[in-house]
Amino acid sequence: MITNADVVAAAERLAGLVRRTPVAVVEPGGLSGAGWLKCEYMQHTGTFKARGALNRVLAAQAAGELDPQVGVVGASGGNAGLAFAYAASRCGVPATVFVPQTSSPVKVARLRQLGATVVQQGAEYAVAHEAALKHAADRGAVYCHAYDQPEMVAGAGTIGLELLADLPEGFDTVLVAVGGGGLMAGIATALAGRARVVAVEPVNAPSLHAALAAGGPVDVPVSGAAVDSLGARRVGEIAYQVAVANGVASVLVTDDELIEARRLLWADRRIAVEHGAAAALAALTSGAYRPAPGERVVVLACGANTDPSDL
Ligand SMILES: Cc1ncc(COP(=O)(O)O)c(C=O)c1O
C-alpha cells in the first residue's frame, strides 16, 4: 500500500518537472454527463507514466541508489518504457529498456530517440521482464516497474492532488482506465475520503475485475484494441490492496465502445487519444457507468500515443 503522504512527497519531488495538465470544463449535456476532462495526454512523453517514472528515478537519486554510469532499467515496449527513458535523460543517467522481439519498430525507434539502449529479448513481455530484473541485479541499475512500485503509483497520484486544487468547487467521481492499476491506485490514494474513483477496463483485459472477483490478483488473458496500454496480465499487488481498501469498483467496456469514445473525443473536441485512454469516457458513453443525478464526474484522458490516421 501507499499513503497520501507518499503522494504528497511525490508532488514535492516533481514540482516544476512535470506538466500541471489542464482540466477542461465540459458544458452541461456534453460527453454523456462528464463534468470535466483532465487532459493528462498533454504530459511529457504523452502519458501520465512520466510522473511515476520521474518520481522513481529522483527518489533513487536522493537515496544515493542511482549509479550515474549504470542508470535505470525497465521492461516495457509501451508508454512506461518511454517514461523510463525520459526520466533517465532528465536525470542525466542512461536507461536500458528491455522489450519483446515483437515490439513495434515505431516504439523501439521512439525509445532510442529518447536516448535509451533498447534490448529486444523474448517473444513475450514476461521474458523481457525477467531480463530486466537480471540486468538490475547484475549491474546495479535502478529497476523501474511499469505499475507495481510505490514511487510509480505515488507519482500517478499527483494527478489526484492537482484535481483537488484545480476544482475547488468539488467533484464526486473520477473515471480512470486500468491496466496494471498503478494509475487508479495513485489517484484513489490521493482522493481517499474526498472523491471516489471508478476503474474502467476493457472486457478483453479485466485484470482488476478478475482480481476483485477472485479475492486477489490472478492472471487473465488479454487482447483487443487497448492491449498495448491496458493489457497487463495481472493487476499489481498495490493496486489490488488500494482498490479493496477504498471500495474501488471496476466497470467493463467493449472494444467497440472504447473505439467509439475515442472517435467522439476527436469529432466533438478535436482531442486525439490512444485507445486505452478513451476507456474512461467509454464508461459514460456506453452506460457501463451511470452517474446519479447531479453527480459531478471527472474523466481522465491519460494518453495520446496513437496513430491519429483512423480518427
Ligand atoms: C495511456 C494509458 N492509460 C492507462 C494505462 C494504465 O495504467 P496502469 O497500468 O497504471 O493501470 C496505461 C498503462 O500503460 C497507459 O499507457
Q: For 183, phi and psi rounded to 5 degrees?
A: -65, -50
Q: How far apart are the first and last CA of the chain?
A: 39
Determine contact, residues 187/176, Cβ cutoff 8 Å.
yes
Listed residue (66, 64, 109, 108) closest to 88, CA to CA = 66
| Residue 185, pLDDT score | 99
| Residue 126, pLDDT score | 84
Listed residue (88, 8, 106) closest to 50, CA to CA = 88
Residue length, the chain?
Answer: 311
Q: Which residues of 227-245 are buried (b: 16+ CB within 10 A; e: fewer)?
A: bbbbbbbbbbebbbbbbee
CB of 250 closer than 6 angstroms to any ligand 1 atom: no
> What is the 284 CA–ligand 1 centroid distance (Å)?
19
* CA pair distance 214, 220, nearest whole angstrom: 11
CB of 176 closer than 6 angstroms to any ligand 1 atom: no
Alpha helices in 22-166 (DSSP H): 49-62, 79-90, 105-113, 125-139, 150-166
| Residue 163, pLDDT score | 98
> What is the 179 CA–ligand 1 centroid distance (Å)?
5
Neighbours of 309 (CB within 10 A): 5
CB of 80 closer than 6 angstroms to any ligand 1 atom: yes
| Residue 133, pLDDT score | 97
Alpha helices in 114-254 (DSSP H): 125-139, 150-166, 182-191, 207-214, 227-230, 237-246
CB of 303 closer than 6 angstroms to any ligand 1 atom: yes
The 8-class DSSP code of residue 15 comes to T
Whole-structure pTM value: 0.97
| Residue 102, pLDDT score | 80
Ligand 1 atom at minimum distance from 46 CA: 1
Ligand 1 atom at minimum distance from 177 CA: 4
| Residue 143, pLDDT score | 98
> What is the 254 CA–ligand 1 centroid distance (Å)?
17
| Residue 105, pLDDT score | 84
The DSSP bridge pattern shows strands 95-99 and 72-75 to be parallel
Domains of the chain: 4-48+150-310 (3.40.50.1100), 50-144 (3.40.50.1100)
Q: Ligand 1: which of 39, 76, 79, 184 to mutate, judged by most atoms within 8 Å of the beta carbon?
A: 79
Low-confidence ranges of the chain (pLDDT < 70): none
CA geometry: angle 49, 51, 56, nearest 5 deg: 95
Arithmetic mean of pLDDT over the chain: 96
* CA pair distance 194, 296, nearest whole angstrom: 12
Residue minimizing CA distance to atom 14 of ligand 1: 229
* CA pair distance 226, 155, nearest whole angstrom: 23
> What is the 181 CA–ligand 1 centroid distance (Å)?
7
| Residue 100, pLDDT score | 86
